[in-house]
A = this chain, B = another copy of it.
């Protein structure tokens, strides 16, 4: 559109990357504009001219995260040959991605603003939408697996997606709390080890957690 006017003296991408790292590390609330302008190497008016507001900058930073550091986690859900392999890849890549040295641990989308009340509504909604989007992608993949005959038709694709998403979200907390890569890998290994049994049981008991098989009789 307009190439008129004084040209921008900083790289928008680089500034966005720096902002993303800061938000990722500290969260939305704990990152101040003073922190941002310092890390991005520009003054407030330049920041507002380029990004609009702190909230809009954050949302752009989340998108940037999804295109860069957060990429590669969910990218193979559709291309993996089976649903089980898709989950295995997801959890393996998650374990690797969440424990890369020199970067904040865990997922920016999960950790940077989990509260839904009191904060900026646009920020919360943007993060929530991205979380649900991934969960829906899982459900979609599982439904495809049903259509392809990999999974039986009775399987509860929605519940299974919620299970995998929940586990993957929880790994962000684990990672932020200091879990080693091996620990995150062990978490993924558990899910994969139980996968076939989950599939076999799914659809028969979706709404209630069935009682444990009483190999040891309960209490009395």
A122 within 8 A of B: no
CA distance A201 to B187 in the complex (A): 12
Question: Is the pair A173, B166 in contact by a Cβ cutoff of 8 Å?
Answer: yes
A119 within 8 A of B: yes
* Number of A interface residues in the complex (CB < 8 A): 82
A31 within 8 A of B: yes
B-contact bits for A204-219, CB 8 A (1 contact / 0 none):
0111111111011111
Of A9-17, A45-53, A78-86, the one with at least 4 CB within 8 A of chain B: A78-86
B-contact bits for A180-218, CB 8 A (1 contact / 0 none):
001111111111111111101110011111111101111
Chain A interface (Cβ within 8 Å of chain B)? 25-27, 29-31, 35, 81-82, 84-85, 88, 91-92, 95, 104, 110-112, 114-119, 128, 131-132, 150, 156, 158-160, 162-163, 165-174, 176-177, 179, 182-198, 200-202, 205-213, 215-219
Question: Smallest distance from the beta carbon of A152 to chain B beta carbons, Å?
Answer: 13
Which residue of the partner chain, among B104, B186, B196, B213, contacts A162 with CB atoms under 8 Å? B186
CA distance A102 to B158 in the complex (A): 26
CA distance A46 to B47 in the complex (A): 41
Question: Is the pair B25, A95 in contact by a Cβ cutoff of 8 Å?
Answer: no
Task: Indicate whether A176 sits within 8 Å of B116 (C-beta atoms), given known contacts A162-B187, A183-B159, A189-B210.
Answer: yes
Which residue of the partner chain, among B27, B209, B213, contacts A189 with CB atoms under 8 Å? B209
Residue numbers in B under 8 Å from A85 (CB-CB): 211-212, 218
| CB-defined A-B contacts under 8 Å, sample of 18 | A27-B118, A31-B118, A81-B216, A104-B117, A111-B114, A111-B115, A114-B114, A114-B172, A162-B174, A166-B170, A166-B171, A166-B187, A168-B170, A169-B169, A192-B210, A193-B200, A193-B202, A196-B197
- 4 extra interface residue pairs, beta carbon distance < 8 Å, beyond A85-B218, A190-B202, A192-B209: A26-B115, A81-B216, A166-B174, A185-B208
